[in-house]
Structure 1
Amino acid sequence: MSHQRAITLVFAVHGAVAGSFATRIPWIQDQLGLSPGVLGVALLCPAIGAIIGMPMASRLAHRIGERPAIQLLLAMWCGQLALPALAPASVWLFGAMVLFGVTAGMSDVVMNAHAVGLERHLGRSIMTGLHGMWCVGSLAGAGAGMVAAQLGVDARAHFGAVALVLLSVGLVSGRSLFTGRAGAAAPAPRRFVLPSKAIAGIGVVGFCGTFAEGATADWAAVYLTRVTDAGPGVAAASYTIFMLTMASARLVADRFVRRFGPVAVVRCGGSVAATGGVLVVIARTPALGIAGFALLGLGVAAIVPLVFAAAGNAGRTPAEGVAGVATITYLSVLAAPAVTGWTADATSYPVAFAMITGVLVVMTLLAGVLKVRDELPAPAGGFPAPTSAPRGMEEQAQEEHASPASA
């Protein structure tokens, strides 16, 4: 198995764990008798745990190597899938969800940092395709979870079986990851450091993209129900279409990144997403609203992968750069649903999505900060840098002939 196929499977397994868990949240709520408010607090805990864990990820990868770190953290992420379902009371659920988030965030940082180094080794963009496979894994996990829920399978048994399967796939793929360890030239990641100006700028772009992505995912169905009088099935379809367009765009976006560069792709994507936001704001029929959400998914698809890639190249080490920007973007995960809800409550749902559209415009205007990805030399570590960064179609063809095909 090639290095690229191995990291592709790692991303898919990580996404499958997240998708599997999301479908059984109602079972956990019913099992523990949680009120909506208590459940809301529980669902904030993974993001809090991720913010706590992310700064530790780069030091772990530096100490034991990226491949062992990915193997360890992915195994823990799969194993902890069952913890929330085993919680006997809400207080135990909060603790389980925090641990769930710590492992999710740490594994997220290390596998994205590994992907940054692999991009430099191959000399071409693969990051958006990897995030596309994360979406594929998430959709697959969610599909299996929906079947289990429909059949009335106990979530503890469901999670146990899924964890074993995904753990096996993760261990097999982990053996084929790049075996290099950061050498003596690689500086030890610092325990705590404020983001540099470059990382902060990249983080703002990521914050805006994640804000729009998270708010749309949480509020699309509600918007269609309240504003366009859509039925439950049509409203639910808005989220599915949003996710499918985002996953599809990620799977092909690397081709455009190689040809035009990350800045142009982010600017184009931001423009498409903002257009979708305008359609949502003016929509008074379900069809127009769904079209707007589809454009939103298409437009924001490449933002987070390219932000992580840029941050990995802007930091002293890939893991430190990814950890810095990921912490900023996870703050957006915490803020987006609540801010959107408060805005809608104080004004209206169209005004709330007009705010989201404004965030996308800001992101588009700031896209130039991602050019650091092409300007900086390869970060210190186990991956050698290519002699020159690929720019045109001829170079791309040469690279694809010499290296594995992109996922």
Structure 2
Amino acid sequence: MTNHRAIALVFALHGAVAGSLSTRIPWLQGHLDLTPAVLGLILLCQPVGAFVAMPMATRMAHRLGGRTATRLLLALWCACLALPALAPSPVWLAGVFLVFGMAAGTCDVVMNSQALVLERRLGRSIIAGLHGMWCVGSLAAGGVGVLAAHLGIDARMHLAVVSVVLLGLGGLAGRGLLANQSSEGVPAPRRFALPSRAILAVGLVGFCGTFAEGASANWAAVYVTAVASAGPGVAAATYTVFMLCMAATRLIGDRFVRRMGAVAVVRVGGIVAAAGGVLVVAGRTPWLCMAGFALVGVGVAVVVPLVFAAAGDVGDTPGEGIAGVATITYLSGLIAPAVTGWAAGALSYPAAFAMITAIVAVMTLLAGALRPRSRAGAEEGRRLERVAG
């Protein structure tokens, strides 16, 4: 297995764990008799765990090596999939989701660092396609989860079996990852690598993109139901179309990055997403709103991958830069659904998505922060600018 295929499989497996669990949340709610408020607090534990743990991931990778750290954290992430269904009470479930988030966040940082190192070796953009593979893994595993739920398979059995399968595939993927690089003579990263000033501008672009992505993913179905009077089937299809557009754009996004450069791609994507936001706000029929959310998905799809790639050029090490930016983007993902809900409640759903459209416009204006700063990255950026005209 080539290095590229191995890291692509890692991304797909990471997404598969998330997709598998998401389909069994209703089972967890019914099994433990959770109210919506309690379930919301428990689900909040996952991003909180990720937010707390991610800044420490680079030090782990420094001590163990990137390949070893990725293999261990991916195994932990896959193994954690079996735990939520075994929780005997809401308190235990909250603790499990906290650990679940810590495993997810630290694995996210080290696998993106591995991807960036490989991207530099190959001399071409691959990061968007890898994030596309994450979407593919999530959608495929989600489909399996929907089928398992439809057949009435107990979630404990379903998640345990999937966990074992993913662990086996993770072991296979780990064999093909880049070999550990010697850390001799390389200073150890800080124990808790909070974002530095140098990556705040890059992180702000990611914050805006993640905000639009998280708000749309969480509220698209609700929006078309409340504003456009869509039925349950159309509402579910709106979310699915949004996710499929994101996945497809990520899978082909690297081609555009190679031709145009990251800055131009994010700016064009921002314009597309803003146009989609306007259509969402102005549309009052389910199909217009669905088309708007599809454009938002296309427009923001490659923002986070390209932000991670830019962060690798800005930080003292690729891993430290990615950890700093990942902390900011996870913070955005943590607050976006809640802020959108508050805005919709205080004003209206169209007003809330008008706010999101404005955030996308800010992202478009700040896209210049993704211009390569390392020598190798700068040379590639100048080459792309010459090719683009």
TM range (shorter): over 0.9
2:373 alignment counterpart: 375
Query: How far apart are residue 192 of structure 1 and its match?
Result: 2.7
1:226 alignment counterpart: 226
Counterpart residue identity of residue 323, structure 1: A
1:260 alignment counterpart: 260
Please point out which of 378, 383, 389 is paired with 1:391. Answer: 383
Q: Could you say if the C-alpha distance between residues 275 and 87 of structure 1 is closer, same or farther in structure 2, counting changes exceeding 3 Å? A: same
1:102 alignment counterpart: 102
Runs of 5+ in structure 1 lacking a partner?
379-384, 396-407
2:244 alignment counterpart: 244
Distance 2:380 2:340 in 1: 44
Query: How far apart are residue 387 of structure 1 and its match?
Result: 8.8
Deviations 1:86-119 (A, max 9, x none): 1000000000000000000000000001111111
Q: Point out the more displaced range, 348-357 or 50-59.
A: 50-59
Please say if residues 56 and 192 of structure 2, whose CA atoms lie closer than 8 Å, have aligned partners that are also in contact: no
Please say if residues 277 and 356 of structure 1, whose CA atoms lie closer than 8 Å, have aligned partners that are also in contact: yes
Query: How far apart are residue 377 of structure 1 and its match?
Result: 3.5
Q: Could you say if the C-alpha distance between residues 393 and 2 of structure 1 is closer, same or farther in structure 2, counting changes exceeding 3 Å? A: farther
Matched, 1:51 2:43: no
Deviations 1:260-289 (A, max 9, x none): 100000000011000000000001100100
SS in structure 2 of the partner of residue 375 of structure 1: coil
Query: How far apart are residue 197 of structure 1 and its match?
Result: 2.2
1:151 alignment counterpart: 151
Within-5 A mapping of 1:43-122: 43-122=43-122
Distance 1:237 1:388 in 2: 40
Q: Could you say if the C-alpha distance between residues 286 and 387 of structure 1 is closer, same or farther in structure 2, counting changes exceeding 3 Å? A: closer
Distance 1:351 1:391 in 2: 42
Distance 1:222 1:231 in 2: 10
1:336 alignment counterpart: 336
SS in structure 1 of the partner of residue 179 of structure 2: coil
Query: How far apart are residue 79 of structure 1 and its match?
Result: 0.3
Counterpart residue identity of residue 146, structure 2: M
SS in structure 2 of the partner of residue 39 of structure 1: helix
Query: How far apart are residue 390 of structure 1 and its match?
Result: 8.6
1:176 alignment counterpart: 176
Please say if residues 314 and 373 of structure 2, whose CA atoms lie closer than 8 Å, have aligned partners that are also in contact: no
Runs of 5+ in structure 2 lacking a partner?
none
1:16 alignment counterpart: 16
Query: How far apart are residue 391 of structure 1 and its match?
Result: 3.4
1:195 alignment counterpart: 195
Runs of 4+ in 1 over 3 A off after TM superposition: 385-395
1:298 alignment counterpart: 298
Counterpart residue identity of residue 309, structure 1: A
Counterpart residue identity of residue 220, structure 2: A
Please say if residues 121 and 386 of structure 1, whose CA atoms lie closer than 8 Å, have aligned partners that are also in contact: no
Counterpart residue identity of residue 375, structure 1: R
SS in structure 1 of the partner of residue 152 of structure 2: coil
Distance 1:172 1:43 in 2: 31
Distance 1:343 1:386 in 2: 41
Aligned length: 387
Distance 1:308 1:289 in 2: 30
SS in structure 1 of the partner of residue 187 of structure 2: coil
Deviations 1:321-351 (A, max 9, x none): 1110100111111110111011011110000
1:284 alignment counterpart: 284
1:312 alignment counterpart: 312
SS in structure 2 of the partner of residue 208 of structure 1: helix
Distance 1:389 1:202 in 2: 16
SS in structure 2 of the partner of residue 391 of structure 1: helix
Query: How far apart are residue 204 of structure 1 and its match?
Result: 0.6
1:133 alignment counterpart: 133
2:29 alignment counterpart: 29
Distance 1:354 1:19 in 2: 29
Please say if residues 119 and 125 of structure 2, whose CA atoms lie closer than 8 Å, have aligned partners that are also in contact: yes
Distance 1:389 1:130 in 2: 21
Query: How far apart are residue 125 of structure 1 and its match?
Result: 0.4
Query: How far apart are residue 386 of structure 1 and its match?
Result: 12
Q: Could you say if the C-alpha distance between residues 153 and 274 of structure 1 is closer, same or farther in structure 2, counting changes exceeding 3 Å? A: same
1:209 alignment counterpart: 209
Distance 2:250 2:327 in 1: 22
Distance 1:345 1:7 in 2: 42
Query: How far apart are residue 195 of structure 1 and its match?
Result: 2.0
Query: How far apart are residue 66 of structure 1 and its match?
Result: 0.5
Distance 1:387 1:265 in 2: 18
Counterpart residue identity of residue 201, structure 1: A
Query: How far apart are residue 193 of structure 1 and its match?
Result: 4.4
Distance 1:168 1:229 in 2: 45
Distance 2:267 2:160 in 1: 43
SS in structure 1 of the partner of residue 83 of structure 2: helix
Counterpart residue identity of residue 247, structure 1: A
Counterpart residue identity of residue 238, structure 1: T
Deviations 1:145-189 (A, max 9, x none): 000000011111001110111111110010110103243353311
Distance 1:51 1:347 in 2: 30
Query: How far apart are residue 200 of structure 1 and its match?
Result: 0.6
Matched, 1:124 2:138: no
Please say if residues 227 and 349 of structure 2, whose CA atoms lie closer than 8 Å, have aligned partners that are also in contact: yes
Please say if residues 124 and 389 of structure 1, whose CA atoms lie closer than 8 Å, have aligned partners that are also in contact: no
Counterpart residue identity of residue 281, structure 1: V
Please say if residues 260 and 391 of structure 1, whose CA atoms lie closer than 8 Å, have aligned partners that are also in contact: no
Deviations 1:273-326 (A, max 9, x none): 000000000011001000000000000000000001111121111111111010
